[in-house]
Structure 1
Amino acid sequence: MAACNTCNKEEPAVQLKRCAKCSTTQYCSRECQKIDWKAHKKICGKQADSAANANVHDPDEMSQSPKKGLEKSVPNPFTRLDNGTYLHNRPEKDVYRLLIDTYRLRMDDMYNLEGQADGDSLYGGASNGLRGFQRFLRQASVRRGLLPSWWSPEKQQECEKLGMDSSQWQNLKKTTSKQEIIDYYGDPRFPMQLRMVGEAVYLSAPGGGDGSQMRKMMAAMEGGGMEGMGMSMMDASSLRR
């Protein structure tokens, strides 16, 4: 039976959640995760790579992303990320959904990976994430070429309205997590894509990292530019966030 990696308490006595980065090690509370972090960080990256390796090298899996959750899937998402067109040539509502979930995942990463929370986010005690999301959109709008050409203040209002619609999964009144993103979109690579969009907005990955090498490697794999789709990704733990 699954148990907390720190205190060994088991379900259903406690509710276990997986580490946001590796999606493998489970904890019953943030306190237990903090206690174990010094030891866990030594293997966290390798576990994350191991989980990703099972999926990212299958050509069929890499052809279209995501498998569900959007009106339209797109080919070669990491190539699009690398050339700055990830949010281009998509249905408007898909762009809204991607922006909302990029923000929601970034806030979850900040809290779980860095122990930080913006005051205007759900993690900082706000009743919803609208104000924080508006700041996020303002930053996105000044990143040259990041948003599609049709983006305007009116489109931003439509995006914010969608995020405040409680009937939508992309809901600024609720938090999300890496695993929930994977489950909803049916794509184990999708959190990485959203994190890379977030990096383009904030100019850094959670924790101040740099995902450019990983992005370029994933784009090269999509283009068949790296030998052996079944490769071990060169032990990419040093490149992952």
Structure 2
Amino acid sequence: MSDLREEETSVGSNMPDHQEQTSTTSSASGCHHDVASSGSPMLGDQEQGSSTMQNAPDNQDEITSAMNLLELESALTPTITVVEALLLSGLNISVKNIIEALQLIEALVDTVSSNQTPPFIKVIKHNVDTNAYAKLSKGKKGSSSSAQEDSPEKITPHAACARCQHDPAITEPALTLRSCLNCEAVEYCSVECQLTDWMAHRNLFCVNPSVIPLDTLAKPHRVPFLKTHITNAFARLAKGIWLHDRHKQDVYALLIDSFRLREADDFTYGGMTNNDSVYSGRVSSCPAFRRFLYQAEAKGLMPPWWSDQKRVECLTKGIDKRQDNYHDLHAMTRDIEIVVVYEDAIMTMQLRMFAESVLGKGAAGSDGRLMLQKMVVAEESARVLSK
């Protein structure tokens, strides 16, 4: 006890000598030392002490709020998320060396995950436009000036907390949502919600589109086993026509893999399983996949040629147990396997976004709508700049 008192006395006696230096260092770093140093002079000034005591609850709230909204940019600069690591890895992935590729990517993911810093959020201020997402998908007729105002860069989708779905536009207009500092594509009402959502978010959608090479978006990789190749995939996802203009075998494969990846994500990051799923001990996930197809049909996401017969063909492909059929509903999958088989890390994002459009929400309660809008803008920008 005496040691603690001596230490406090020593710190207090040195405070005036280092007060100016502490203030200078804090302002330069932008860290929470600024909050601590601003409080120290008030504690040493008796004249201001009384007013400080009277306003103690308000000051305490301000300090707590400031510390919860730290923007430690210098600490976060050298880090990347797992999704970004896959996109930027540049690995020469081929189905011919699938085992080696799996080992390389697993080592990459393990390295990134072990070095991952805790998440931080920042306050963003915007006017919530409840019709913005519809405008982005359908477009808006009118003059050039109105079209410019409703461009994807300027509008913001109607957003709620990605974890608890708290919607300030409806329940609490005075509350400002806070966005993920890395991707700015998800918003949270509190630090607690982001910490709870961090494990799923960093592996699913935490990507800054600006770090993706232009060629990756402007000239998408041709998946070797797909018979047709489409461009502007994210714009098609936003419009609900991602499966259109594809060969039927491609549609079957994408539907099956989108569902299988969603099952894996729900189980890995949310601990959720379907009763009729391989993750709950069933031999096959075919019954759950059939419901997935019904939901996609009900939302108008299927191509124009889709019919009951095509649904049966798709289910038949999913229950094919042959070794050369990767799209097997009897087997579990992982995002790493998707990257290897499709030879493209960005396909995992597309498959996840399609599953979200079918089921109405992201894996493990995540929300990829803002990320989809950002990818649409990035994709269009890359296409224009590459001309």
TM-score, normalising length from structure 1? 0.72
1:181 correspondence with 2:338: yes
CA contact (8 A) 2:292 2:358 kept: yes
**Aligned residue pair count:** 200
- Shift of the alpha carbon at 1:153? 0.7
Q: Which range moves more in the overlay, 209-218 or 87-96?
A: 209-218
**What residue is the counterpart of 1:122 in the other structure?**
278
Q: 1:101, 1:199 → 2: CA distance?
A: 13
Q: Which has the higher helix share?
A: 2
- Shift of the alpha carbon at 1:56? 6.1
CA contact (8 A) 1:24 1:47 kept: no
Q: 1:204, 1:66 → 2: CA distance?
A: 28
| SS at 1:75 equivalent | coil
Task: Specify which structure has the bigger relative contact order, considering alpha-carbon pairs within 8 angstroms and separated by 6 or more residues.
Answer: 1
Change (3 A) 1:23 1:170: farther
Gaps of 5+ in 2: 1-102, 115-193
1:25 correspondence with 2:113: yes
1:96 correspondence with 2:249: no
**What residue is the counterpart of 1:10 in the other structure?**
none
- Shift of the alpha carbon at 1:225? 7.5
Once the two structures are superposed, residues 17-73 of structure 1 have per-residue CA deviations (whole angstroms, 9 ceiling, x without a partner) of 96xx999437xxxxxxxxxxx9896577557778x5699622222222453331222
CA contact (8 A) 1:65 1:74 kept: no
State the one-letter code of the partner of 2:251: V
- For 1:82, which of 238, 248, 263 is the aligned residue? 238
- CA RMSD, aligned part only? 3.4
**What residue is the counterpart of 2:320 in the other structure?**
165
- Pairwise mapping of residues 147-166 of structure 1 onto structure 2 (< 5 A)? 147-166=302-321
Gaps of 5+ in 1: 1-14, 27-37, 230-241
State the one-letter code of the partner of 2:238: D
Q: 2:239, 2:209 → 1: CA distance?
A: 26
- For 2:295, which of 124, 133, 139 is the aligned residue? 139
CA contact (8 A) 1:56 1:189 kept: no
**What residue is the counterpart of 2:269 in the other structure?**
113
Q: 2:199, 2:258 → 1: CA distance?
A: 26
Q: 1:147, 1:44 → 2: CA distance?
A: 28
Once the two structures are superposed, residues 69-118 of structure 1 have per-residue CA deviations (whole angstroms, 9 ceiling, x without a partner) of 31222112111111111010000010000000011001101100101111
Please identify the structure whose Cα radius of gyration is greater.
Answer: 2
Q: 1:39, 1:22 → 2: CA distance?
A: 20
TM-score, normalising length from structure 2? 0.46
- For 1:61, which of 216, 220, 231 is the aligned residue? 216
Change (3 A) 1:208 1:153: same
